[in-house]
Amino acid sequence: MEIFLVGGAVRDKLLGRPVVEKDWVVVGATPEAMIAQGYQPVGRDFPVFLHPQSKEEYALARTERKTAPGYSGFQFYAAEDVTLEQDLIRRDLTINAIAENSNGELIDPFNGRGDLEKRILRHVSPAFAEDPVRILRVARFAARYHHLNFSIAAETLDLMRAMVDSGEVDHLVAERVWKEMSRALEEKNPEVFFLTLKECGALARIMPEIDALFGVPQRPEYHPEVDTGVHTMLALQQACRLSSEVQVRLATLLHDLGKATTPKEEWPRHHGHEERSLPLVREFCQRLAVPKHMRDLALAVAEFHTHCHRALELNPSTLVKTLEKLDAFRRPERFAEFLLCCEADARGRTGFEDRPYPQAVYFSGAFNACVQVKVRDLLDQGLTGAQLGEALHKNRIQAVTQFQAEWQQRNPS
């Protein structure tokens, strides 16, 4: 029995990046032998075991054969006679098909180390085309390593396009799309994930709402980049500057979906795009099984981001109504995330990347003024029910009116 460190741990060690988790391949062993040594079986489709002490995953070397469309359409074979090279050739990219033995020596039958040095993402074998999840994985790795100047090999991109054309990508299940997408949104350059999917044609199949934004023009005096899809990618970049939270980045990504449904005769204006965005956001989140709290933030940003942009122009009554509709008083943390998304949207325009965004400070100040209105004080006055709600709303407007006057004194322009 031989044990090899494989995959991401070897790749990231060679790149000088932190090794987050380790995966191991066992050659020349049986499930019975693993269990006898105290390993705990956990694999359903093929034999995977947890180490008795470290709890790291140890998988028996295996081969696979395509039997049906999609991610799950494979038959696996794991036995003592499967070699390390047979196991490595089934992996997606050459940089993920490097192994390390117990002496620290590298086994690299597909020149993954050379591709690491050349900063190339290249598929290992034609078997890549059998698994549509690999399109998502390549896009995610492109996003992860973009800042290291990695690019996708031309032949791999051609293969990804062929997979889209053949309909293989249509067999992707929502859970896997969301898993890869949410992981991509954690990266430094998640916009590369979506641009890669667009380049190979997969974006139109699995996220048509986002793909439809490209080619839709906006008013150049407000959006020098003009193209709505380009703006969305720029806004996503800004969201990454402002927050590491997936929900903030996702909400920014989805904030303008309604612009794709603007009638062409109304271009480049997009009146009412906020309301038109809402059913598209709901459909997107339902289809991909996006967690509810992330969906709710995305809906709030889609509906009210222009209110935030115009906060300095809104009267106190409208400001308070907007805060109440945002449920800001019960969910202040979500309101803070909402403001970050709006700032990312405002800065996600060519030439606006470092512009101040006083609207967020102003809107936050109006919120803080409202918070000073205490429900307990009104209850002590004997108010209940509708009277309590009306008095609370009225007092919040008065508080914002005072805040607005003080703001204007400090900012006379």
Mean pLDDT, consecutive 10-residue stretches, the chain (413 aa), reads 94 94 93 92 82 93 70 70 94 97 96 98 95 96 97 98 95 94 98 98 98 98 97 98 98 98 97 98 97 98 98 97 97 98 98 97 97 87 85 95 96 81
Q: How many angstroms separate the CA atoms of 156 and 128, rounded?
A: 9
Structure tokens at 34: 């693993």
Q: How many angstroms separate the CA atoms of 165 and 353, rounded?
A: 37
Q: How many angstroms separate the CA atoms of 123 and 134, rounded?
A: 9
Structure tokens at 193: 């994930």
> With contact defined as beta carbons under 8 Å apart, do 281 and 299 qualify?
yes
pLDDT for the residue 11:
97
Which H/E stretch holds residue 383? Answer: none
| Residue 336: how many other CB atoms lie within 10 Å | 15
Which H/E stretch holds residue 257? Answer: none
Q: How many angstroms separate the CA atoms of 43 and 132, rounded?
A: 21
Q: How many angstroms separate the CA atoms of 136 and 173, rounded?
A: 12
Mode of pairing for the β-strands spanning 57-60 and 62-66: unpaired
| Residue 320: how many other CB atoms lie within 10 Å | 27
Cβ-proximal residues to 248 (8 Å cutoff; 6+ apart), any chain = 239, 242, 297, 337, 340, 341, 344
pLDDT for the residue 67:
57
> With contact defined as beta carbons under 8 Å apart, do 193 and 184 qualify?
yes
Structure tokens at 26: 């066992």
| Residue 8: how many other CB atoms lie within 10 Å | 17
> With contact defined as beta carbons under 8 Å apart, do 228 and 213 qualify?
yes
> With contact defined as beta carbons under 8 Å apart, do 181 and 210 qualify?
no
**SS3 sequence of 201-254:** CHHHHHCHHHHCCCCCECCCCCCCCCEHHHHHHHHHHHHHHHCCCHHHHHHHHH
> With contact defined as beta carbons under 8 Å apart, do 102 and 1 qualify?
no
- Residue 300 backbone phi and psi in degrees, to 5: -65, -45
Whole-Å CA distances, 271 to 26, 256, 315: 60, 12, 21
Q: How many angstroms separate the CA atoms of 42 and 58, rounded?
A: 10
> With contact defined as beta carbons under 8 Å apart, do 29 and 1 qualify?
yes
Q: How many angstroms separate the CA atoms of 388 and 407, rounded?
A: 28
Structure tokens at 284: 């997107």
pLDDT for the residue 38:
94
Instruction: Give the global pTM.
Output: 0.92
Domains belonging to the chain, first-starting first, are 1-111 (3.30.460.10), 208-410 (no CATH)
**DSSP string covering 65-112:** EE-SSSTT-EEEEE-TT--HHHHHTTSSBGGG--EE-TTS-EE-TT-H
Q: How many angstroms separate the CA atoms of 51 and 42, rounded?
A: 11
